[in-house]
Structure 1
Amino acid sequence: MTRLDTASTKRIPLLAVMARLGQQPVSGPAAGGNYYFISPFRPDEQTPSFVVSEPKNVWADFGEPAEAGQKVYGGDVLKLIMRLTGVTLPIAHQVLAAWALDMPAATELPLAQPAAKGKTVATGPITFTDVRTEPLTWKALVEYLTSRGINWPLIQRNQRTMEHLQQVFYQVQGKERGKPYFALGWKTEGGWEVRSKGFQGTIGQKGVTWLHGTEPGVNIFEGFMDYLSALTCYRVSSFRSTVLILNSVNLLGSVLPLLMEQDGPIRWFGDNDAAGERALHVLREALPGRVQVQNELYRGYKDLNDFLTKTPPTKPLPPKRDNPSAASQTAKYWLWAVFDELAPGQWGRKGKRRQCTFYSYTNDDDGLEQLRVLRNQLGHQLYYYRICERTQGRKFKILEHAGLAHAVPQVDESDREVVDTRRPGHIGELLHHLAIAS
């Protein structure tokens, strides 16, 4: 037998070794001379994760967790033989020296039957191609999940959760030719929320996820990682009450009618940032007396996953918003006023209009008349006003309005203010940051 030194052994073509092992490339050569194989470590996988670089004569397996100091698990031909057979380095040398005598040339390698192409999905300016999903099994993705503090054995007990939590494979149109990407995927009503160490985005349209329970109540989470974090924190594989994962706080408005139809308490597990605080305020206004705030459990952290991993916030979090009074959530009549920039006693940022919301003391005709009297007293100070009547929850009907072009002026949310209700001429209590929708 011819004895090869280590350098010579490492030059034995990996493609030829793969052929000797009975492995055929699914595609190739792609950009950079890469060939894609079904992993010899996971022969049942549907999407190729094992890549051989012909120019560099090295391999990488994206389905395996990376070793210390590596970005991806892989190596040379010697490491491949040692991993597949469990032999030592000297024995791997002998095996390869014997194989080197009758290995096929790379040009003789046939391609395996190509896998069926996945879907093409346009998401804004990005087009994802060959999008495919499979049950979550790749060690690299499981390792990423556990690095976020998630209890993987616990999560696996819930079949419905695992039906939504998948591994997603995709390519990006216009990127490096033939390069596949993979990530964790969470199924929504609009598509997939996608997460990996290097990417966070959406394939398809934004959508919510409902996981209906058997007991009254709804647990609301902003993202699926927060939901998985809650299961980990509470050491349960599922919640008995319904779970709603927004996947974006901007979708809260679209599900408010459905939330109003739900029985039981509404438990809020939202973020402690400004967007989360605004969403909580909207929720309280729409469902007075029903919202149970859970994010106090992780006050000081941006979200539940950061609390789980003890990750400090990257920027200062806003202070806790005061709870609205009971009266402010039930008052029938409202006066919404936007003041003229030159109104006496104005405070706030220069060039911004002051806007205030007042409600009546009583929910009868006397209460409505009080607001009209206040409107007359304010008179010349007003730039625009609306008198509204609550019809249901946070829905209002406009009774009177007047101002420039009878239109709602564009006022920065951050310029709303709290007015001292003890000042002469003011009735009721002003709600900070309340927007009345027509």
Structure 2
Amino acid sequence: MNAKQLNQQYSIVGFLSHNGFQPASKKGDNYWYISMIRDLEAYPSFKVDINKNLWYDHGIGVGGNLIDLACKIFKMEDVREVIRLITCDFSSFHPQPAAQVPEMPSRNKLRIVKEGYIQDLALIDYLNTRGICIEVANQYCTELTYSNQGHVFRGLGFKNQLGGYELRSKGFKSCIAPKDITFIGNGGSNLLVFEGFMDFLSYLMLPVFHVSNSSYIILNSLSLLAKVSEPLSAYDSKFLFLDNDLSGTKAASYIKQMYPRVIDMSMFYSDHKDLNDYLTQNRKCDEQKCAAPAI
């Protein structure tokens, strides 16, 4: 399937729904969302015209078709890879006729078949490549066996507050709706905020970053930042472990402006994309030092 065919056959609203984004309101042919491609929005300004199957973000004056949107959500520029993700890994939404609310047949949804401790060797190998030991992963993640279009797969599941899951495996990134934040309360006076659960697991692998008496929030998407205003106000000190990209920097700036006693921890891994990149790169350096011949 080429780009033109994909844009004609697949619904943007269906794609967004599958990835955990629901409209805030519907006005005629226009579905309005809290923008999922930028941050710090309190009111919906992201519009999808279901008749034209096009989107437009009024907050930044940018719009386009399904592939344009998927490139931004997946943070990829490789159009071929984005098409592959939509048509294979992310094709659990059904092609829709224009001007219809997407109905996703149950046979096409990601459906959980079984969950349990992480034992699959491919998943353990994937964790190893991300620098995460199985003992840490099993404390907070589960091995999900799930079906997708009649095929059965296994992935790492990370549960959110509404009972949905972030889903990961090698080369695959998705979620099982509903999408929400994850809160892990330990009764401490400090709150640590992470963008994704791999960053949270990376933190657990890095004692040098540990903050005592802490609870944790994993956003699972920066578009959910508005949902954490109450805990951000409730805790004495906030420690941010966000990504070192434009979105992460904007989110950190916003939190620091809105709340007192905020420490941006990204300064300690500023040469890396995120905390997991810091973990994996430093592990490689340690391995190279160990492998270096003695002189």
TM range (shorter): 0.5 to 0.7
How many residues get paired?
A: 179
Unaligned stretches of 5+ in structure 1?
A: 1-120, 312-438
Runs of 4+ more than 6 Å apart: 121-124, 235-238
The equivalent position to 2:272 in structure 1, one of 286, 301, 310, is: 301
Q: 1:169 maps to which residue?
A: 145
Matches within 5 A, 1:234-249: 234=207, 240-249=213-222
Q: 1:141 maps to which residue?
A: 123
- Deviation per residue, 1:217-263 (Å, 9 max, x gap): 1010001110110111117999631011111111111111232122x
Work out whether 1:292 is the aligned partner of 2:287. no
Q: 2:66 maps to which residue?
A: none
Choose 1 or 2 for highest CA Rg: 1
Cα 1:284/1:135, change in 2 over 3 Å? same
Contact 1:220/1:245 (<8 A) preserved: yes
Work out whether 1:221 is the aligned partner of 2:194. yes
Q: 1:276 maps to which residue?
A: 248
- Deviation per residue, 1:89-124 (Å, 9 max, x gap): xxxxxxxxxxxxxxxxxxxxxxxxxxxxxxxx9898
Contact 1:122/1:204 (<8 A) preserved: no
Matches within 5 A, 1:326-405: none
Contact 2:127/2:134 (<8 A) preserved: yes
**Matched AA of 1:194:** L
- Deviation per residue, 1:58-115 (Å, 9 max, x gap): xxxxxxxxxxxxxxxxxxxxxxxxxxxxxxxxxxxxxxxxxxxxxxxxxxxxxxxxxx
Provide the rounded CA distance (Å) in 2 between the counterparts of 1:274 and 1:196.
26
Contact 1:231/1:238 (<8 A) preserved: no
Q: 2:132 maps to which residue?
A: 150
**Matched AA of 1:249:** L
Return the TM-score normalized by structure 1: 0.38
Deviation at 1:189, TM superposition (A): 1.6
**Matched AA of 1:234:** P
Provide the rounded CA distance (Å) in 1 between the counterparts of 2:210 and 2:232.
24
**Matched AA of 1:278:** K
Contact 2:118/2:134 (<8 A) preserved: no
Contact 2:244/2:272 (<8 A) preserved: yes
Cα 1:295/1:130, change in 2 over 3 Å? closer
Provide the rounded CA distance (Å) in 2 between the counterparts of 1:227 and 1:140.
21
Deviation at 1:307, TM superposition (A): 1.0
Contact 1:122/1:128 (<8 A) preserved: no
Provide the rounded CA distance (Å) in 2 between the counterparts of 1:249 and 1:223.
9
**Matched AA of 1:145:** L
Matches within 5 A, 1:184-223: 184-190=156-162, 191-223=164-196
Q: 1:69 maps to which residue?
A: none
Deviation at 1:130, TM superposition (A): 4.5
**Matched AA of 2:280:** T
Provide the rounded CA distance (Å) in 1 between the counterparts of 2:243 and 2:193.
11
**Matched AA of 2:119:** T
Deviation at 1:198, TM superposition (A): 2.3
Partner SS, residue 206 of structure 1: coil
Contact 1:272/1:299 (<8 A) preserved: yes
Provide the rounded CA distance (Å) in 2 between the counterparts of 1:293 and 1:237.
14
Deviation at 1:210, TM superposition (A): 0.8
Partner SS, residue 277 of structure 1: helix
Partner SS, residue 180 of structure 1: strand
Larger RCO: Structure 1 or Structure 2 (Cα < 8 Å, ≥ 6 residues apart)?
A: 2
Name the structure with the higher helix share.
2
Contact 1:168/1:185 (<8 A) preserved: yes
Return the TM-score normalized by structure 2: 0.55
**Matched AA of 1:197:** K
